[in-house]
Structure 1
């Protein structure tokens, strides 16, 4: 099978240069991806994996028909707080995605945030956010801060450890202890392996997709899309931002791999564009100028990602390794 972005491979190590002025609302994520060194693909195993992901992903979709509920602001504040803590402690993107997933599933099954009692007690949302983030960190991270330290990043309320632990038990029971859901990151990881992406550049491409995903996590409208749709729209946005001239062809190949609806992907992509444009004043990647555009998509991507010149990124920019924020030294309470 012809690999989609095989031309991303390059022996030399290049970096994406982040714009000096970070846009408001950008979040840090850490590059914890091992370099892909697959020499051959077990297509049967990959097809089985894809079938499993697709069969499970419907459980992670929330049918709100794009409706923004009165509690949308509460959710946004909670998610933005969690992302701030993720950035502060240099947690992985998966930790952030899991925490938001737990929060959405918990309130969806626990009756949401709409009741008068919940509206009058905004601390309940904060308590749930702290507990969901704590659970996600325990699932994904090697080192987890103490529960008190976890609340130091812009928290409106500070809860005792025993209170958070009780909420964790309630969340676990409400979610039936299903703490390894299918997420957009599941499909991003699958696609990069299926396409045979390898070496440092594949890790950079995947990290760029993850950082973009973190930027629109606070927007509750994306809850209505399947994880596979969000993952595909995210990759399409990154590819189109780098080289629009070959974006459509790669979009078709991505849709072919996953077998998902093109209209759903384009609708999701439009919302991603809306968010990134409003946040960054419509700015996009600064592309280097070519004397002549190569004839094939692979050749274009090869020049785009493997050139000796670095990129200046003006889409939601995320530092690859924030300094001074990592405090992953103490283990949290069990």
Structure 2
């Protein structure tokens, strides 16, 4: 039997988000408690079996590729969710669940094409539901609408949308996510537990940084988690030579092809992201402006600012549609 962590998952059967992103090293892996090890592996295998019930259908990605669904609108919605997560310091799982609820809803029910406010309303409702599932302190529905929200909705409007989301999702909010697996996969990759804290923390950041990309909708949570752990391992010299093909052996039910494909996509996006974040050297120029010219520019700038259109938030209330039940018919 392969070596597993017997002490790193105390409440795995009850909460798949235990121990996520704590930044602390997990206990070293041990093979002493065989019964516990078997139970953990069976639980992970159960998550792999059930994960297909908590993702959109196989043709969901195709709808974005054919522009039946607006990929840019989804990116904006996910970006807003991540901003609010950072603003309130929500758990990573909260933001991931928000996006998961949104994608599952969009697969089954179309939004009316109405200048973008339905996307905002859906984002607020999904984030509110996820926060109620995972957070100990949840802001009010009005306070949740921060960080550049384009529209502001009344509480009763959001609650009606929450009920619609719950109905479409059949009230299945405790979803299987990549965070259901990363502790276990990190232990498989690092049985001594030496780099567990870093692997979990870095993999979590990689998952969230790529959540806006519609391309990852092709992969199930277990494949995303395995690919993220492998990408995190690349940053550790002792683990950088790990062969992605070996990830299939971590647990029954994993797909080697899907893990490798997801890993390559993730590597490319992580590399591109690191290149974008590299500091640019800007040449320093000495600019001398005469006092008269400066005052003239200041007055001109002030006049232009006062006449420019200001950004106004629109307050949309009592907007909610009654969609058909045709399950995402185009």
- The normalised TM-score by structure 2 is 0.69
Paired residues of 2:55 and 2:100 also in contact (CA < 8 A): no
1:234 aligns with 2:233: no
Contact 1:255 1:262 in 2 (8 A): yes
1:66–1:174 Cα change, 3 Å: closer
Q: Does 1:174 align with 2:168?
A: yes
Alpha-carbon distance between aligned partners in 2 of 1:43 and 1:194, rounded to the nearest angstrom: 12
Question: 1:132-179, CA deviations, whole angstroms, 9 ceiling, x for partnerless residues?
Answer: 001101100010111111111110111111111111111111111101
Residue 203 of structure 1 and its aligned partner are, at CA, apart by 2.4
The corresponding residue for 1:152 is 146
Q: CA shift at 1:195, angstroms?
A: 6.2
Q: Which digits, 9 at most, give the CA deviation of each residue in 1:115-138, with x for residues without a partner? A: xxx223410011000010011011
Deviates more, 1:47-56 or 1:212-221: 47-56
- Look up the match of 2:72: 73
- Counterparts of 1:125 and 1:75, CA distance in 2: 8
Partner of 2:209 in structure 1?
A: 215
Contact 1:53 1:182 in 2 (8 A): yes
* Structure 1: gaps spanning 5 or more residues: 6-29, 285-334
| Residue 205 of structure 1 pairs with residue 199 of structure 2 | yes
Please list the CA deviations of residues 74-95 of structure 1 after superposition, one character each: whole Å capped at 9, or x if unmatched.
1110001000100111111111
Q: Which moved more, 1:254-263 or 1:31-40?
A: 31-40
Structure showing greater Rg: 2
Name the count of aligned residue pairs.
Answer: 255
Using a 3 Å threshold, how does the CA distance of structure 1 residues 171 and 246 change in structure 2: closer, same or farther?
same
Q: Secondary structure at the match of 2:26?
A: coil
Give ranges in structure 2 of 5+ residues lacking alignment: 6-19, 279-330
Tell me the residue number matched to 1:290: none
What are the within-5 Å matches in structure 2 for residues 1-334 of structure 1?
Answer: 3=3, 31-32=21-22, 36-37=26-27, 40-41=32-33, 42-62=36-56, 63-64=58-59, 67=62, 68-69=64-65, 70=67, 71-111=70-110, 113=111, 118-192=112-186, 201-243=195-237, 246-249=240-243, 251-259=244-252, 260-281=254-275
Q: Which has the higher contact order (CA 8 A, sep 6+)?
A: 1
SS of the residue 2:143 aligns to = helix
Distance in structure 1 (CA, Å) of the matches to 2:60 and 2:192: 38
Shift of 1:32: 3.5
Aligned-pair Cα RMSD in Å: 2.9
Determine if contact 1:60/1:182 at 8 Å carries over to the other structure.
yes
Write the deviation string for residues 250-302 of structure 1: whole angstroms up to 9, x where unpaired.
x3443201242222112111221222222222889xxxxxxxxxxxxxxxxxx
CA contact (8 A) 1:232 1:255 kept: no
Q: Distance in 2 between matches of 1:279 and 1:34?
A: 26
